Amino acid sequence: MKSNEIKAMTDADLAKKLQELKSELFNLRFRHASGQLENPLSIRSCKRDIARVNTEIRARSAK
């Protein structure tokens, strides 16, 4: 997910996307622990997307 895509989202969309990403991260961790995850790097990209969304939420609240 690109940062300019995140900046174009509304506050409600950001909150919804954050919840989706957190549930996706949970599922990825669960699949990794059970040995069913094919690409372990997807966990890293999901964490980075969560960080990008959190950064944008924080930047908007500081304004």
Give residue 57's pLDDT: 96
- What pTM did the predictor assign? 0.92
pLDDT at 45 over 80: yes
Write out the residue range of the structural domain in which residue 33 sits: 3-62
Enter the tokens of residue 18: 């954050």
CA angle 49, 3, 43 (to 5 degrees): 15
Specify the DSSP class assigned to residue 37: -
Give residue 63's pLDDT: 75
Enter the tokens of residue 11: 């506050």
Structural domain total, the chain = 1
2 confidence band (pLDDT: 50, 70, 90): confident
Q: What is the domain-level CATH number for residue 7? A: 1.10.287.310
CA angle 57, 21, 15 (to 5 degrees): 35
